[in-house]
Amino acid sequence: MKKISDSAMNIYSQFGEDGIIQEIFNVIGIRSKKCIEFGAWDGFHLSNTANLWTNGWEGVLLEGDFNKYQELLVNVKEYPCVCINAWVGYEGPATLDSILMSNNIMSDIDFLSIDIDGEDYYVFESLTILKPRVISCEYNPTIPPWIELIPAKNNKYFGTSALSLVKLAEQKGYKLISMTDTNCFFVTVEEFDRFNGYELSFEKLYITKYLTYLISGYDGKYVFSRKPVYGFTTPCELGLHGDVYSYKDKV
């Protein structure tokens, strides 16, 4: 059966997200023609929304770094974009809901890209008002996708497992329809049945090529199955979602 990811294509995106987004909206149609992305960087670099707002969509682009924000303003001045200099978090006035409300931006949104290289799970979890029709959210592809792993807060560069995101999305009224090397794509349950002609099984969608195994001998010595994708320094103080235990304690 065909997958939505069969349409993967990059114009500005990194792992085929541009083509996947296009295919999703070919299926469900476009309504508001509005999209949101953070951190937007300079507007174009590895963007999941640039292919939209350069083609008539309205973009809401958030970037916390002031210098990058200045680049962003220059780069998108010819396009229908609202730029906001803000770091998006998951508590208080830093939540996306709060930032958008303070800027009078809470109308219907077709697409939201959550991609901050770490605490994406908690940002997604913090959404209580905003209800985009389609959401892409970053996960850590070095974590086996079939396990639940949610790092404790303030592990800014660790990320979460794909399964943890899928379960969170379901709690919020979304269903998984596609995956790339680093992003899960979700649609509202109301739109989900439109994808009956596609492979939607999580086990057929997830990607395992980034997995590295730690293999232990009977004497307690261990070896990696290969060099870890993002390198290796020392065991980190991970703390699983409520500090159940730390990775360092287990290694």
Which pLDDT belongs to residue 238? 53
pLDDT band at 242 (very low <50, low <70, confident <90, very high): very low
Can you read off the two tokens belonging to residue 35?
């999209």
d(C-alpha 1, C-alpha 178), whole Å: 13
Residues 219 and 187 in one domain: no
124/225 same-domain check: no
pLDDT score at 235: 63
Looking at the structure, do residues 117 and 165 belong to the same domain, yes or no? yes
Q: Say yes or no: 109 and 220 in one domain.
A: no
> Is the per-residue pLDDT at 96 higher than 80?
yes
Instruction: Write out the residue range of the structural domain in which residue 236 sits.
Output: 212-251
pLDDT band at 243 (very low <50, low <70, confident <90, very high): very low
Residue burial 24-35, b: 16+ Cβ < 10 Å; e: rest: bbeebeeeebbb
- Residues 126 and 248 reside in one and the same domain: no
CA–CA dist 124, 169 (Å, integer): 8
State CA 141 to chain mean position distance: 11
Q: Print burial letters for 142-180: b (CB count within 10 Å at least 16), e (below 16).
A: ebebeeebbbebebeebbbbbbbbbebbeebebbbbbbb
The number of angstroms, rounded, from the C-alpha of 186 to the middle of its chain's C-alpha atoms is 10
Check whether 209 has a pLDDT greater than 90.
Answer: yes
Contact of 69 with 62, CB cutoff 8 Å: no
pLDDT at 122 > cutoff 90: yes
**The pLDDT value given to residue 237:** 57
Q: What is the pLDDT of residue 248?
A: 36
* pLDDT, mean of residues 233-239: 61
Statement to judge: residues 168 and 239 lie in one domain: no
pLDDT tens per residue, range 210-235 = 999 989 999 988 888 888 888 777 66
Q: Is the pLDDT reported for residue 92 higher than 70? A: yes
Do 47 and 111 have their domain in common? yes
The structural domain count of the chain equals 2
Arithmetic mean of pLDDT over the chain: 91
Whether residues 160 and 228 fall in one domain: no
User: Residue 86 has which token pair?
Assistant: 């803000």
Residue 246 has pLDDT above 70, yes or no: no
Residues 233 and 190 in one domain: no
The answer to whether residues 142 and 234 belong to one domain is no
Closest listed residue to residue 132, CA positions, set 100, 104, 103, 162: 100
Identity of the amino acid at 20: I
Q: What is the pLDDT of residue 251?
A: 37
**Domain CATH code at residue 45:** 3.40.50.150
The model carries a pTM of 0.91
pLDDT digit string, tens, across residues 23-70: 999 999 999 999 999 989 999 999 999 999 999 999 999 999 999 999
Mean pLDDT of 63-86: 96
pLDDT value of residue 66: 96
CA 187 from chain centre, in angstroms, equals: 13
The whole-number average pLDDT for the span 163-168 is 97
Same domain, 187 and 132: yes
Q: How far apart are CA 111 and CA 37, in angstroms?
A: 9
Please check the confidence at residue 197 and state whether its pLDDT lies above 90: yes
Q: Are residues 96 and 54 in the same domain?
A: yes
Q: Point out the least confidently predicted range of 8-17, 113-122, 197-206.
A: 113-122
CA distances from 159 to 122, 166, 178, 218 (A): 10, 14, 19, 31
